[in-house]
Structure 1
Amino acid sequence: MTVVTQAKKGKDSDTISALREALDVGRRSELDQAYQEGGSFLRSIGFEANAEISRILDVAMNPNSLFVTLRDKKRAGNALARRLDVDQDMKPVVECLRSCGLEQAQIVKVISDHPAVLCYSPEERIKPFFEYLASIGIGPEKVARRPSLLGLEVNASLRRIVNYLQEVDGKTVEELAQLLETI
């Protein structure tokens, strides 16, 4: 007798439990596969420690990751966290970081220090971010030194911060670069 047939015969609570368990197992195996593929990809770009790979993938794929709250008490989690696909999500991010001027070792540092970057859209978030920094005279090496800057969205916060510092405080590009490293 199938699970659906059991439900029709009035054994709803047992059947619902069986369905939930079957769905959970399916989701877990998909997620496990995503973690395995993600881990292989991270190893291929220079990560070695399994614990670090696990932490990065947990932050990027688990919206309730404890690693996020342990590092930053103000945040409840990574709102963009989701099951990532290597070809559709992770590789394009790495390629975008490379095309924006980061070297391989810098890319590894950026991902290690700010795993949420793996969840960002290269075209909608990463590329405009680096273009904006370049427009105010700040190079990619500053992002490599302070990867958490990538957490600032250009139009939502970064542009306002920079405008305030330039217009109200009269900061120079050099002073801006130093200040952005402290954010």
Structure 2
Amino acid sequence: MLWASQTGNAEGAANSCAKKLHAVGYDVRLACMDSYSITDLSKERLVLMVASTFGAGDPPDNGEGFWQALQDNALNTISTLKRNWRPCKKNGLLTRLDTAFSRDQAEKIYVQDRMLEHGAELWAWLQEGAHFYICGDASRMAKEVESMLKRIIQQHGGMWSAEAEAYVKEMAKSKRYARDVY
């Protein structure tokens, strides 16, 4: 499991995930992205990555070299990563992976667009105890994602605005909602 974080939240999330995977029988090795060579990806049976990135698109300092190598080797790396996600999906550790690219294509797709598309499922996950993390730009992205989260809670939870606000505050209090924003 590879991690990179500007504030430490992604490292903590990676450690927590690694403990859970270890508890169900996986031999998990943790590494900071910048201490891991991208050329070793093809040797791995399974790779999970956790990162808190800037909303401006810049990687965290301790993942900058890794992200640059990913960009430099994008086509080969994407193929490798897709192969590595399949075992996670097969054994139920990863049930779904959605992506949102706002810079890499003509049509800009944002996280909040994906959230809205799958609002009912996101609400169901929250009802089952899912954790929600926002990482990135505090001035725009984080506000828009949090606003969409509250909208989904309102819409699918049948709540008023104040009730959705209270729901998110309770999630934060119980450590199911966290922000790594700057």
> Would you tell me which structure has more helix in proportion to its own residues?
1
Does 1 or 2 have the higher relative contact order (CA < 8 Å, sep 6+)? Answer: 2
TM-score (norm 1): 0.24
